[in-house]
Amino acid sequence: MSTVVITGTQWGDEGKGKIVDYLAQQAETVVRFQGGSNAGHTVMVNGEAYKLRQLPSGILYEGTHNVIGNGVVVDPEVVLQEMEGMEKRGIDVSGIRISDRAHVVMPYHRLMDGLGDEQKGAGKVGTTKRGIGPCYMDRDDRIGIRICDLMEKETFAEKLKVNLARKNKELQALYGHEPLDYDKIFGEYQGYAERLRPYVCDTIVLVNEEIDAGRKVLFEGAQATMLDIDYGTYPYVTASHPISGGVTVGAGVPPKKIDKVVGVVKAYCTRVGEGPFPTEQLNEIGEKIRNEGHEYGVVTGRPRRTGWLDAVVVRYAGVISGIDYMAITRLDILDNFEEIKMCVGYKYKDEVLTSVPASLKIVEQCEPVYETFKGWQCDITGIRSYADLPSAAKKYLERMAEVTGIKVGIVSVGPNRDETIVVAQDIFGK
Ligand code: GDP
Ligand code: IMO
Ligand code: MG
């Protein structure tokens, strides 16, 4: 058995796409298990950027199965646009498989995501407005439309009729919005259905058979632990389970079939949207991180909030997801800093907390306890072995491993596939 879960440990945008693409060199299958087009994963190969929102990041390898699992909410328009974009660039998309159990994002989901979040006023989450929350809400309300329903013309017509009648009432009553047109949506989605049909299958059978046959399977998390609906900074979170446990329900794979978990850790911290961020630097340090790292969202273009690495958060992610190795990314972004800080605990009243508290009131009152590190102040992007990293960088990484209790498995020193240092040789199997 050879299965690896890649999960984000912070607030997303850690570089999961890059790590998945790197490890996918060895994998036969890459599986997305949660989230939807709220994700923005950038993969860079030889200076060419590929931006992925719905498609798994194994798409650049011919012959690889790229599975959109049942736990994903599928926006057909986005999937088809991405597939078209890939084909135009000469990428083979024939290995894509879409779960017949996945739920479908509808136009009213996108619309209500935006309207609903705005209506929360000061309490708004700052969602990506891609309809993710409303689509999962319909699933949990047991009125959702699944890919298998979309494949059956009559079932889809019936479900859309019932749902749209209800959504139009809500649109009118809650937001004073004009009703959406049934025929327009029906026609549009029938078009999508025909184009998606060749890729739809029972991905649970496919993925489990591949694992049982000893093939290497990667599970690609979107978002991250601190955005998890239960484990994140609720309510400033997304609507799914990005933690490693999300694989079992989002791909139909039992826990005992998961071999290893790799937690992707950005060498500092960022967050898009609202909510607590204890190590945020609302000052020139934050500005410098944003400028050095070009920290702007892929999906919405919003400037990302920036701050120092929060090892409390990474440790917490490690506990929840059972992380074997950290893949530390964007270490090169810290190349030009004289001093680098790491939060190793939260001072709360007379205590120092080493896990993330549930109450946002308590989080607000926590003061990060920082340790200060000397910067290495040189270009590390050309380095390809751990031993060759400057000793100041190694000190920073070693302390990170100590505080989080997780070993360093990979160090990424640039966005390109080859700008990667592999420290642990046993990530896949053995
Ligand atoms: P994801 O959502 O976790 O996949 O991360 P994003 O793709 O949204 O953001 C990470 C960004 O950092 C992307 O633009 C990557 O190409 C880039 N990236 C990944 N690893 C590294 C690295 O080690 N160094 C630098 N400079 N960029 C990286
Ligand atoms: P990747 O996979 C960073 C954030 C949004 C918002 C909150 C809820 O690229 O790491 P949603 O639209 O999901 O209901 O928004 O979650 N968010 C992300 N932040 N990276 C992401 O994905 C995110 N996906 C959602 O900004 O605060
Ligand atoms: Mg991203």
Which residues carry out catalysis? 13, 41
The overall average pLDDT reported for the chain is 97
27 pLDDT above the threshold of 70: yes
Q: What is the mean predicted confidence (pLDDT) over 198-212?
A: 98
Helix (H/G/I), strand (E/B), else coil: 374 = strand
Confidence of residue 167 (pLDDT cuts 50, 70, 90): very high
Q: What is the mean predicted confidence (pLDDT) over 6-27?
A: 97
Q: What is the pTM of this model?
A: 0.98
85 pLDDT above the threshold of 90: yes
12 pLDDT above the threshold of 90: yes
HEC sequence for the chain: CEEEEEEECCCCCCCHHHHHHHHCCCCCEEEECCCCCCCCEEEEECCEEEEECCCCCCCCCCCCEEEECCCCEECHHHHHHHHHHHHHCCCCCCCEEEECCCEECCHHHHHHHHHHHHHCHHHCCCCCCCCHHHHHHHHHCCCCCEHHHHCCHHHHHHHHHHHHHHHHHHHHHHHCCCCCCHHHHHHHHHHHHHHHHHHEECHHHHHHHHHHCCCEEEEECCCCHHHCCCCCCCCCCCCCCCCCCHHHHHHCCCHHHCCEEEEEEECCEEECCCCCCCCECCCHHHHHHHHHHCCECCCCCCECEEECEEHHHHHHHHHHHCCCEEEEECHHHHCCCCEEEEEEEEEECCEEECCCCCCHHHHHHCEEEEEEEECCCCCCCCCCCHHHCCHHHHHHHHHHHHHHCCEEEEEECCCECCCEEECCCCCCCC
Confidence of residue 430 (pLDDT cuts 50, 70, 90): low
Predicted pLDDT of residue 296? 86
- Lining ligand 1 with CB less than 6 A are 8, 12-18, 40-42, 44, 298, 329-330, 332-333, 412-415
Predicted pLDDT of residue 238? 98
Q: Is the CB of 227 under 6 A from ligand 2?
A: yes
pLDDT above 70: percentage of residues in the chain: 99
Predicted pLDDT of residue 1? 64
Predicted pLDDT of residue 429? 66
- Ion ligand 3: residues, CB < 5 A: 13, 40
300 pLDDT above the threshold of 80: no
Predicted pLDDT of residue 298? 65
Confidence of residue 302 (pLDDT cuts 50, 70, 90): confident
Structure tokens at 112: 């209500």
Going by alpha carbons, the residue nearest to atom 12 of ligand 1 is 15
Q: What is the mean predicted confidence (pLDDT) over 240-249?
A: 98
Going by alpha carbons, the residue nearest to atom 21 of ligand 1 is 415
Q: What is the mean predicted confidence (pLDDT) over 304-321?
A: 98
223 pLDDT above the threshold of 90: yes
Best residue among 21, 225, 328, 329 to mutate for probing ligand 1's pocket (most ligand atoms within 8 Å of CB) is 329
Going by alpha carbons, the residue nearest to atom 18 of ligand 1 is 415
Q: What is the mean predicted confidence (pLDDT) over 280-309?
A: 91
Are residues 71 and 240 in contact, defined by beta-carbon separation less than 8 angstroms?
yes
Predicted pLDDT of residue 35? 98
Q: CB burial class (10 A; 0-12, 13-18, 19+) of residue 214?
A: exposed
Domains of the chain: 2-93+202-422 (3.90.170.10), 103-199 (1.10.300.10)
